[in-house]
């Protein structure tokens, strides 16, 4: 084990996979000498000459070239600076990358990773702060992961690169400086395997990305009042680990879903539907969702704080079930 930040763990995951497999390369705006918008790829351009490529400012070309390279046998890791900008390259993603393997009867593979970053809390305003994982989850053929810890960030990056399908790998701004123990060398976290970050028997809280840490803080406060919350970090929204969710709800009989994205059309609705369809008789109370409101992300620090799901809002939702 080695202590690393979330950003360092992603870089280490990239480094290990690039050392292991010469077909892996990085591309995106400023990923080279500048080290990426948030410094995640710093130094890799010197370690891997010719395999860390700075691109023009054109999301369409970044993802279009990655799709072609992946179909031709390479394993590109393409960075889009902010998840908000993926709208520019959605045709390449949802009409090409996601469908190519299916439409060619499995003869073509698209083993590419789209790295991007999401989330609020830094005053980056409405065009640089969204959480859009539900977009990608709605597209058959694309896998979508959102690591919440440094170890998961490294392990999921390795698994994403090795997968033969396109994977959208979403980092969170608030997590980049988070430190934790990370396994050295090759390390994989299987896609589609949720993790119980805290065990409990009174209520299940399903969440992912930054909200895992807000849920853990809420669980700590609830424990002082005698309520034992079980925190499930999905890690992957696609594939979705239904088994872990249903097993936990069978134990607690209560479910709260927490995500930073807006409520309407958010992936929490899919989690709720799975439990309603496959485990309705396990529930003693209605399902609760704690989400952002259906508005753009505010720039004002005061409004943004009110907009984001908080520890207090999670605690309130849990208490309403008792």
Domain 2-182 listed as CATH 3.40.50.970: yes
Predicted TM-score (pTM) of this structure: 0.97
Among residues 128, 172, 213, 259, the one annotated as catalytic is 128
Q: What is the pLDDT of residue 8?
A: 98
Positions of CATH 3.40.50.970 in the chain: 2-182
Q: What is the pLDDT of residue 140?
A: 97
Q: What is the mean pLDDT of each run of 10 residues along the chain (322 residues)?
A: 97 98 98 96 97 97 98 98 97 97 95 98 96 98 98 98 98 98 98 98 98 98 98 98 98 98 98 98 98 98 98 98 96
Q: Is 128 a known active-site residue?
A: yes
Q: What is the pLDDT of residue 72?
A: 97
Q: Which CATH architecture has domain 195-319?
A: 3-Layer(aba) Sandwich (3.40)
Q: What is the pLDDT of residue 252?
A: 98
Contact predicate 31/53, CB 8 Å: yes
């Amino acid at each position: 084990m080695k202590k690393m930040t979330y950003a360092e763990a992603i870089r280490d995951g990239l480094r290990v996979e690039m050392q292991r497999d010469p077909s892996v390369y990085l591309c995106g705006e400023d990923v080279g000498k500048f080290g990426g918008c948030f410094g995640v790829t710093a130094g890799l351009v010197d370690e891997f000459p010719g395999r860390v490529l700075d691109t023009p400012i054109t999301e369409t070309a970044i993802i279009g070239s990655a799709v072609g390279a992946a179909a031709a046998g390479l394993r590109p890791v393409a960075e889009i600076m902010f998840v908000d900008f993926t709208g520019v390259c959605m045709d390449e993603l949802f009409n090409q990358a996601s469908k190519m393997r299916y439409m060619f009867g499995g003869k073509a593979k698209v083993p590419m990773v789209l790295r991007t970053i999401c989330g609020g809390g830094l005053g980056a305003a409405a065009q640089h702060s969204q959480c859009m994982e539900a977009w990608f989850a709605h597209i058959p053929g694309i896998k979508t992961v959102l690591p919440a810890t440094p170890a998961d960030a490294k392990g999921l990056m390795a698994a994403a690169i090795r997968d033969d399908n396109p994977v959208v790998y979403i980092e969170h701004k608030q997590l980049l400086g988070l430190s934790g123990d990370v396994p050295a060398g090759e390390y994989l976290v299987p896609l589609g395997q949720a993790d119980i970050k805290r065990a409990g028997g009174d209520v299940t809280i399903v969440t992912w990305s930054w909200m895992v840490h807000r849920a853990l803080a809420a669980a700590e406060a609830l424990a002082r009042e005698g309520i034992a919350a079980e925190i499930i970090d999905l890690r992957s929204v696609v594939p979705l680990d239904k088994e872990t969710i249903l097993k936990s709800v069978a134990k607690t009989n209560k479910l709260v879903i927490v995500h930073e994205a807006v409520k309407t059309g958010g992936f929490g609705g899919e989690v709720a539907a799975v439990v309603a369809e496959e485990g309705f008789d396990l529930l003693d109370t209605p399902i609760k969702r704690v989400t952002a409101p259906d508005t753009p992300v505010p720039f004002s620090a005061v409004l943004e704080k009110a907009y984001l799901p908080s520890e207090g809002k999670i605690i309130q939702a849990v208490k309403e079930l008792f």
